[in-house]
Structure 1
Amino acid sequence: MRRSTPATATLAAVLAAALLSACAPLPPAAPDNARPQLPAQWSTAAEAGTAPIAAQWWQQLGDTQLDALVQLALANNTDVLTAAARVQEAQANLAATDAARSPQLNATLGAQAGRSLTVLGPSQSRNVQPGLQASWELDLWGRLSQQSQAAAARLQASQADRAAVQLTVAATTVQTYVGLRALQQQLAISQATVASREKALQLAQDQQRVGYISQLQVTQAQAEHESVQQQVQQLQWQVDKQLATLNLLLGQAGGNAALAAAPTQRLQDLQLPAVPSSLPSQLLERRPDIARTAALLAASDHQLQAQRAAFLPQVNLSASVGSLLVNSLNYNPLTVWSLGGSLLAPLFNGGRLQAQLDAATAQRDQAAYAYRGAVLAAFADVESALTGTQRLAQQTLHATQRRDVLHQTLGYAHDRYEAGYASYLEELDAQRNLYAAELEVVRLHQAELDNRVQLYKALGGGWQADAVGGAGAATPPSGP
């Protein structure tokens, strides 16, 4: 009978592994409905501008204090710091995954002492065996490399997530600051209105004492005066809450005297940033949140391939070398060594591997749908902000014109009242309408600034896909 040689056994093992690899199931492709449809252009009601998007776009508002606050928030905000820590965690996970592809070397030391009874009488023995052990899994089917690529993609996702958090914190800080200035502007208008109502009330009381007007007109003037004073207290409370929100964004617990003081710049002094240019096809490379979902989709694809490789044989090489010292360290040690290899091929596992592959497939499909959802949400954000740019501009124009008309109306009502052609109620009504119109103009200007900030955020705030080493090179999901 012919005996098999080591070379023949090795060839047989390789052929068996090749046959098993042909039996490994192929993961299904991503669902067709997970692929987002990209429009060629924005809707007719949402037209983009021509201005470029600078990385520090908030500087276009022209407020140096705001610039300093945004930088402080990016440095101290808790969400930003947490996102940075997640990047460090992903880097460590990638290093650990890469290490699994390298040979492992361990030092060993064994010692044993004993006493036993032999035919010659009691006997004592002492054994010491130092050595080295090495092992290495051959990545024949790419399981370990796929896991490493998945970890690298997750690192890119964490980096994109950090950029998305930074963008959100910067935009929220700007909007909160704008809201603070809007409230302070409304408070200033209300305080000025209180002063004018006090004068009007004093005049009405003087006229009532001489019988020129009735007590009814005086009580109505008092009611209007109290109404505005109530509004002053309400606005002051809102200013305090806005300051607390801003301090939370800045990562500080105490108040900021410079922010609480009367602003050196009014809300109207903040410049409205230009409408940036954008095409729908460029949006995928500008949004860090889309880059994050694209990287997670890539990671799930690599993890799915690694799970497929679990159906294939695993080949491990091992080696050890050491010395054996018996009874005395003075004896010449005996060198011991071993070389070996093992092949582990799954034959029956009760469907465990198939279930794990199905779970990995479902996770890949979830990532594909998450990518599609991020793309659709991004387009909706841009469309809404672009449409709001036009609508709010028209509202502000009409509200400003109405305020100017009401200012003239108050002048006419005051002249008619002093001339005796109208009652004081007519002037009170004109004052009330003008006060409401002035507050509305401030609110609309705040809404314009907020919407412009939202537009810059929706367009990615100047972030580029290569900022995380290509993680943002988002592509529609495809099958493996």
Structure 2
Amino acid sequence: MRGLAACVKASGASVIAIVLAGCVVGPDYERPAVITPAKWAGDHGKSSAVTKPDLTAWWRQFNDPLLDRLVVQAVDDNLDVATAKAKIREARATFRQQTGALLPTADGSGSATRNRSVADAEPSVYNQYKAGFDASWEVDLFGGRKRAAEAAGFAAEAANDDLADTFVTLIGDVTSYYVEARQYQELAALAERTARSQRQTAALTRDQLQAGTATGADSATADGQAASTEADIPSYRISYLQSVNRLAVLLGKSPADLQGLMEKRGKIPSPKMVAGLGIPADVLTHRPDVRAAERRLAQYTAKIGQAEADRYPSISLTGNIASTANNLADLGRKSTISWSFGPSVSIPMFHGGQLKAAVEIAQAQRDQYYVAYQSAVLSAMEDVENAIVGLTQSQQRRAKLAVSVAAYRKAAQISQELNVAGATNRLDVLEAERALYTAESNLIQSQTSIASYYISLHKALGGGWTGTINVERPAVLDSVVGPRLAMR
């Protein structure tokens, strides 16, 4: 109760200042100190630790105009973004509501009545008019309402960061599903080309069987291999359409709306390599989910003071003035005027431990958000490290697969030539074709992996939308909100 004693001991001008400014109870928020490594473990010195990544419109590094268009459409029309905008409006309105509670309230009132009274057996009928003004102010002596306003302000800042985090996730998802769709287009096209070649091989094998230069096993194997490759095509088309349909939903459209736009084949986007990664401490400011977690910790720290203030006395100043007259024109002139003004004090005495329990609840909630903030920081650094190693290893894998494809293509060509010359059997040709198909499929998937880890890295670093966003426009515009006759 030292805070109460400090307020009580104040006198004179100090008392006036305290009444106007108020005391505060509960802990003052301090941003937690977070120890982060000096550099990323997966970087291995390949980029300068002091060079921060360029996160501005990072998806443009793919140099794909259609992807750029889709990102802009998603930012404008995505439903998760619309929800995040509404939550910002709600948080801002809550903040204004809580700050408004710090100010006095005033209300006007008026009445007009027709009255009848009987005095000495003589009835009297008269009109009576009243007008009044009431005002009240709860002095925020121990800062409960101030803490509530603090909490609402922190919540509004967290809502802003939530919108930014929604953009990080949205742009990453749009780009990822676009890359996936292009991958499945490439895989389906590869399967179709390979299946045509294998069908030609199967037809040639049947001719050789009739000529006695191939066996029935050779012919059956060739047919089976072609059918197996053809069976991959529907699977790839299913995955392609699922990616396109999901992409359409992210853009706020029906699934069918995007299929025509994506039908024309495009290459798997190939990004430019990341020039710099910055340092792990950057995630504390770059990652909007980390910033939001920190703001919520601040919000729930302020709520402790809000709950603690309820355990202290409260002072309210109330006043009113009223005028009563028998004629409307006499109000304020020849009327009866009454007024009152004075303070009232409310002292919490016995609440069965509820007020103390409310403080303990707030403290436990603050601890949960403290742990959540620490978890958000660790998860952010984990995301970056995983993306770094994934991108680095995927680049190495693609280089090896490119060599593998070139070698298998040469082997398939040589096997075909040797078979024509009668120097090898048909099974060697089929095996070479199968190996080439597998290697080419793996190469396409490795190209997708590079793009996917590139996307993951920029998401992990906090890359999102940096353009202007209008959050004040509601999703539903009410045409009529004023007074009117009820229609039902």
TM band (smaller chain):
0.7 to 0.9
Distance of aligned partners of 1:176 and 1:159 in 2 relative to their CA distance in 1, 3 Å threshold: same
Counterpart Cα distance in 2 of 1:72 and 1:329: 62
Do 1:35 and 1:372's aligned partners in 2 also have CA atoms closer than 8 Å?
Answer: no
Do 2:271 and 2:454's aligned partners in 1 also have CA atoms closer than 8 Å?
Answer: no
Deviations, residues 205-237 of structure 1 (Å, cap 9, x unaligned): 222222221222111111111111111121112
Q: Secondary structure at the match of 1:283?
A: helix
Counterpart Cα distance in 1 of 2:274 and 2:309: 53
Question: What is the TM-score normalised by the length of structure 1?
Answer: 0.86
Counterpart Cα distance in 2 of 1:139 and 1:55: 45
Equivalent position of 2:303 in the other structure: 303
Do 1:315 and 1:342's aligned partners in 2 also have CA atoms closer than 8 Å?
Answer: yes
Aligned-residue offset at 1:123: 4.3
Distance of aligned partners of 1:276 and 1:81 in 2 relative to their CA distance in 1, 3 Å threshold: farther
Deviations, residues 7-28 of structure 1 (Å, cap 9, x unaligned): xxx979x99xx9xxxxx98569
Deviations, residues 385-407 of structure 1 (Å, cap 9, x unaligned): 11112221221122221111111
Counterpart Cα distance in 1 of 2:306 and 2:351: 18
Equivalent position of 2:341 in the other structure: 339
Question: What is the TM-score normalised by the length of structure 2?
Answer: 0.85
Equivalent position of 2:257 in the other structure: 255
Counterpart Cα distance in 1 of 2:391 and 2:329: 90
5+ residue gaps, structure 2, are 1-9, 19-23, 470-488
Aligned-residue offset at 1:412: 2.1
Distance of aligned partners of 1:25 and 1:257 in 2 relative to their CA distance in 1, 3 Å threshold: closer
Identity %: 27
Aligned-residue offset at 1:118: 3.7
Equivalent position of 1:379 in the other structure: 381
Aligned-residue offset at 1:42: 2.0
Distance of aligned partners of 1:26 and 1:160 in 2 relative to their CA distance in 1, 3 Å threshold: closer
1:146 maps to 2:144: no
Q: Secondary structure at the match of 1:381?
A: helix
Equivalent position of 1:358 in the other structure: 360
Distance of aligned partners of 1:245 and 1:298 in 2 relative to their CA distance in 1, 3 Å threshold: same
Distance of aligned partners of 1:249 and 1:238 in 2 relative to their CA distance in 1, 3 Å threshold: same
Deviations, residues 156-200 of structure 1 (Å, cap 9, x unaligned): 000000000011000000011011111111111111112211221
Deviations, residues 85-138 of structure 1 (Å, cap 9, x unaligned): 111111111111111111111011234444444444444454321111111122
Equivalent position of 2:482 in the other structure: none
Equivalent position of 1:477 in the other structure: none
Q: Secondary structure at the match of 2:257?
A: coil
Do 1:278 and 1:459's aligned partners in 2 also have CA atoms closer than 8 Å?
Answer: no
Counterpart Cα distance in 1 of 2:161 and 2:430: 57
Equivalent position of 2:102 in the other structure: 101
RMSD: 2.7
Aligned-residue offset at 1:337: 1.7
Residue type matched to 2:413 in 1?
G
Do 2:27 and 2:301's aligned partners in 1 also have CA atoms closer than 8 Å?
Answer: no
Within-5 A mapping of 1:260-409: 260-263=262-265, 265-267=266-268, 270-326=270-326, 328-329=327-328, 332-409=334-411
**Higher relative contact order at CA 8 Å, sep ≥6: structure 1 or structure 2?**
1
Task: Tell which deviates more after alignment, 91-100 or 117-126.
Answer: 117-126
Q: Secondary structure at the match of 2:380?
A: helix
Equivalent position of 1:21 in the other structure: none
Task: Count residues in correspondence.
Answer: 444
Distance of aligned partners of 1:444 and 1:229 in 2 relative to their CA distance in 1, 3 Å threshold: same
Q: Secondary structure at the match of 2:185?
A: helix
Aligned-residue offset at 1:329: 4.0
Aligned-residue offset at 1:339: 1.4
Distance of aligned partners of 1:100 and 1:28 in 2 relative to their CA distance in 1, 3 Å threshold: closer
Counterpart Cα distance in 2 of 1:275 and 1:54: 11
